[in-house]
Amino acid sequence: MDASFAHPRAAAPAEAEEVEFSERAFFLKAFQGICLTFVLSQSSDLTPPALALLQQVLQEVLPTPRSEHRDNGRVLLLFHAVPAVTTRLQPLFSALSATVVQIDPVEPRHLPPALWQVSHQKQRPALVAIGVEATTPQAFAEKIGVLALLLRMSRLVWVDAAGGIPDGTGQTVTFLNSTRLADILRGGDGERIGLLKLFQTMLVGGVKAISLCRLTELDQELFTYQGMGSFFSRRPYCQVRRLGLDDFELAAALLRKGEQEGFLLPRSDGAVAQVLTHSYGAFILENRLAGICALETTAYQAEQAGEIVSLYTLTRFQGVGVGGQLLNHVVRDAKRRGLSSLFACTRHPRVADFFLRCRFGRQRNHFHRVGAEQVPAAKWHAYDPDRQRQIICLCLPLGEPL
């Protein structure tokens, strides 16, 4: 069982068995019990094909008439109440039986009761659309900010034809926490700086997360970890903890995804179960599993050693320290458990370089390369000799204080 990362351009090996990764099912479940809020304006590129995609996304999120869970998937659409927007959205409202109201100005007494009240049938309207009257796009954005702070929304999706925020190379910055957003604002004066300042205000004021993407990217932004736009979060971007039973289904799917991409060694269901029972997860926004790592010690008790296995992080969260946080947590836990050393084995030089770059504790301890004979002999029991010759072995002594 070797350590690895996902590579954004990695292709699945020809011999890998096709395994479905249940990202979509996970996100649909995560949206239960919350209200997804979409912001639509003249800059949202409201073309008929794009609106057809939006309708498909909403139909998947919204409950069916016979849904057993009345609180599944509620949606709030906030739109600029001008003819160019309202006319284009009207067919969508009709198709999805939306409750449509208009407000101006944005004040608590003008909020529609449909947002929280239930009807005589004990159900809330699944889709509420609020037309926000504003004379200019800037005024509209400001009123959306007021409304977002008033309602302290869990998840706001800001739809803009320009998509997410680009970095210096033109690539979309896929994840920004409050600290990184503040850094951008301190050093930038671009044309979208006003929008980013508004996002910062909303995050500080209680909005949990914001997505900025194109209308045609909604499906990938909402239902996949890779995403397509820029995702903003006010909470610490990563928290590491031991996995529990409630995490196992998604974690197992994540391992299978790593196998498909050729970065994790294929395992039987029994072997996956063994990995899960001693695994750690890196979570974004408390419940979004962004990476996984296991610490195997049973086979190496005589040497008081531990092997880091199944290290895998999703591409979207690479570059924001998820892998490093996982590894730091595991190293500290191993030290507390009295282990004398850790080792990891990989076929991928890029993964080996990651281990070699990491530093731990006040002494800045780090992994170093060793020969195969310097890791516990139990590692190579029934191991494929051809694969063993390709393996890079790395070791971290734990005798020094961390």
Q: Is the pLDDT of residue 13 over 50?
A: no
Q: What is the mean pLDDT of the chain?
A: 82
| pLDDT confidence band for 169 (50 / 70 / 90) | confident
* CA-to-CA separations, 217 to 27, 134, 336, in angstroms, rounded: 15, 26, 45
More confident residue, 69 or 305: 305
- The CATH code for residues 243-397 is 3.40.630.30
List the one residue out of 62, 316, 59, 34 whose CA is nearest residue 156.
34
Most confident of 58-62, 288-292, 361-365: 58-62
DSSP string, 118-166: --TTS---SEEEEEEP-SSHHHHHHHHHHHHHHHT-SEEEEE-TT-S-B
- Average confidence (pLDDT) over 290-316: 88
Residue 136 pLDDT class (50, 70, 90 cuts): very high
Phi, psi dihedral angles at 264 (to 5 degrees): -125, 145
DSSP string, 341-385: EEEEEES-HHHHHHHHH--BTTTTB--EEE-GGGS-GGGGTT--H
Comparing 10-24, 91-105, 190-204, 240-254, which segment has the lowest mean pLDDT?
Answer: 10-24
For residues 23-36, give the mean pLDDT: 77
| Residues forming CATH 3.40.1160.10 domain(s) in the chain | 23-233
* pLDDT confidence of residue 23: 67
Tell me: pLDDT of 268 over 80. Answer: yes
Q: 39 with 85: CB under 8 angstroms?
A: no
- Strand pairing category for 279-284 and 239-242: antiparallel
Which residue spans of the chain are classified as CATH 3.40.630.30? 243-397
- In this model, does residue 122 exceed pLDDT 70? no
Specify the range with the lowest mean pLDDT, choosing from 83-97, 182-196, 381-395. 182-196
Calculate the alpha carbon distances from 179 to 182, 229, 235 in Å.
Answer: 5, 18, 10
pLDDT band at 7 (very low <50, low <70, confident <90, very high): very low
- Which CATH superfamily is 23-233 part of? Acetylglutamate kinase-like (3.40.1160.10)
Residue 145: predicted pLDDT: 93
Rounded CA gap, 314 and 191, in Å? 31
Tokens standing for residue 166: 């680009």
Q: Does residue 16 register a pLDDT over 60?
A: no
Q: Does 108 have pLDDT greater than 60?
A: no
Q: What is the pTM of this model?
A: 0.68
The pair of structure tokens assigned to 152 is: 């302290």
Rounded to whole angstroms, how far apart are CA atoms 198 and 221?
21
Mark residue 166 as left, alpha or beta (left: phi above 0; alpha: psi -120 to 50; beta: remaining).
Answer: beta
pLDDT at 64: 62
- Give the residue-averaged pLDDT of 233-245: 81
Would you place residue 286 in the very low, low, confident or very high pLDDT band (cuts 50, 70, 90)?
low
CA distance 117 to 323: 44
